[in-house]
Amino acid sequence: MVSLSLSYEVHYFESAGRADLPRMMLDVAGAPYKNVFIDFAKWSEVKDTMAFGKVPKLVVSESDGSRKELFETNAIVNYLAEVLGLAPDGGAFARAKAASITSNLCDLEDKLRRTYGLPSVEERHKAHEKHIAETIPTYLKYHERLVEGDFYFGDKVTVADLKLHQMYCLFDDMYAARNPFKTHAAEFTNLNRIIATLAAGPAGEYARNRRDFGRLKWVAERWEWVFDGRSLDES
**Min CB(37)–other proteins separation in Å:** 22
Q: Is residue 164 exposed (0-12), middle (13-18) or buried (19+ Cβ within 10 Å)?
A: buried
Residue closest to 27 by CA, chosen among 162, 203, 196: 203
**Min CB(53)–other proteins separation in Å:** 5
**According to the binding rule CB under 8 A, does residue 96 interact with other proteins?**
yes
Alpha carbons 102 and 199: distance in angstroms, whole number: 19
**According to the binding rule CB under 8 A, does residue 53 interact with other proteins?**
yes
**According to the binding rule CB under 8 A, does residue 72 interact with other proteins?**
yes
**Min CB(212)–other proteins separation in Å:** 26
**Min CB(106)–other proteins separation in Å:** 8
Buried b (16+ CB within 10 A) or exposed e, 81-115: bebbebbbeeeeeebebbbebbebbbebbeebeeb
Considering only residues 102 to 131 of the shown chain, the ones binding other proteins according to CB under 8 A are 103-104, 110
| Total site size for other proteins, rule CB under 8 A | 32
Considering only residues 143 to 162 of the shown chain, the ones binding other proteins according to CB under 8 A are 143, 146
Determine the 3-state secondary structure of 218 from DSSP.
Answer: strand
Q: Closer CB to other proteins, residue 75 or residue 176?
A: 75
Q: Is-cis flag, bond preceding 56, omega within 30? A: yes
Q: Of 16-24, 67-75, 150-158, 180-188, which part binds other proteins (CB under 8 A)?
A: 67-75
**According to the binding rule CB under 8 A, does residue 76 interact with other proteins?**
yes
Detail the DSSP E strand segments found in the chain: 7-12, 33-37, 57-61, 67-71, 216-219, 224-227, 230-231
Residue closest to 218 by CA, chosen among 182, 178, 188: 178
Given 100, 120, 189, 231, the residue binding other proteins (CB under 8 A): 100
**According to the binding rule CB under 8 A, does residue 63 interact with other proteins?**
no
**According to the binding rule CB under 8 A, does residue 230 interact with other proteins?**
no
Alpha carbons 208 and 18: distance in angstroms, whole number: 17
Residues that bind other proteins (CB under 8 A): 51-54, 60, 68, 70-76, 78-79, 82-83, 92-93, 95-97, 99-100, 103-104, 110, 138-139, 142-143, 146
